């Protein structure tokens, strides 16, 4: 089972603006990331502690880009879960933009954004990925650089995850 936290974040923004969860708050890219991460990390911990999510075997996936390693360590580490970061820190924003254009499909919300918006977003993604990589190294958390050899990286990750789930 998988849950897209982007949908949950959008729900917070629309239904509970008093929480301060706001992707378009006018803050810098990094400050927005820190704000959302700091709000969503305790929420995720509460979800995990509800006992509802450990019923799935081999597990469940929470897909959230906006969770910094520092907030994972502060709020979630020690819960019955694991975290893996997929980043693109080893490219320029121009290269990151090209990657997005190559892999975007009609199912991705970014497919319908202008090239100008995507290029601006690529700058933010690279900046955030560099920060996340540094934090992963600091806390010893696993990360996967997907900018180059993307398919092989994903296949290797899935093989390792499958081996791990078979031993549980």
Q: pLDDT digit of tens for each residue in the chain (168 aa)?
A: 678 888 889 999 999 999 888 888 789 999 999 999 999 999 999 988 887 666 666 667 888 989 999 999 999 998 888 899 999 999 999 999 999 999 899 988 888 899 999 999 999 999 999 999 999 999 999 999 999 898 999 999 998 888 776 665
Find, among 92, 42, 50, 93, the residue nearest to 67 by Cα: 42
Question: The tokens of 114 are what?
Answer: 């202008």
Residue identified by tokens 């006018």 is 26
Per-residue model confidence (pLDDT) at position 154? 92
Query: Which one, of 21, 24, 1, 25, lies nearest residue 11 by Cα?
Result: 21
**Per-residue model confidence (pLDDT) at position 134:** 98
For residue range 7-49, what is the model confidence (pLDDT) as tens digits?
Answer: 889 999 999 999 888 888 789 999 999 999 999 999 999 988 8
Reading phi first (left if > 0) and then psi (alpha if -120 to 50, else beta), residue 59 is in left
């Amino acid at each position: 089972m998988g849950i897209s936290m982007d949908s949950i974040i959008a729900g917070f923004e629309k239904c509970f603006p008093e929480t301060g969860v706001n992707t378009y708050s006018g803050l810098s890219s990094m400050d927005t990331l820190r704000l959302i991460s700091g709000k969503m990390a305790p929420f995720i911990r509460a979800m995990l502690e509800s006992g509802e999510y450990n019923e799935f075997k081999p597990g469940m996936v929470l897909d959230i880009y906006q969770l910094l390693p520092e907030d994972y360590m502060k709020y979630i580490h020690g819960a019955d879960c694991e975290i893996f970061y997929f980043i693109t820190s080893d490219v320029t924003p121009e290269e990151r933009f090209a990657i997005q254009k190559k892999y975007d499909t009609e199912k991705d919300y970014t497919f319908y954004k202008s090239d100008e918006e995507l290029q601006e977003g690529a700058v933010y993604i690279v900046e955030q990925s560099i920060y996340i990589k540094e934090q992963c190294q600091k806390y010893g958390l696993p990360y996967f650089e997907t900018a180059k050899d993307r398919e092989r990286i994903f296949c290797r990750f899935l093989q390792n995850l499958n081996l791990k789930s078979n031993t549980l």
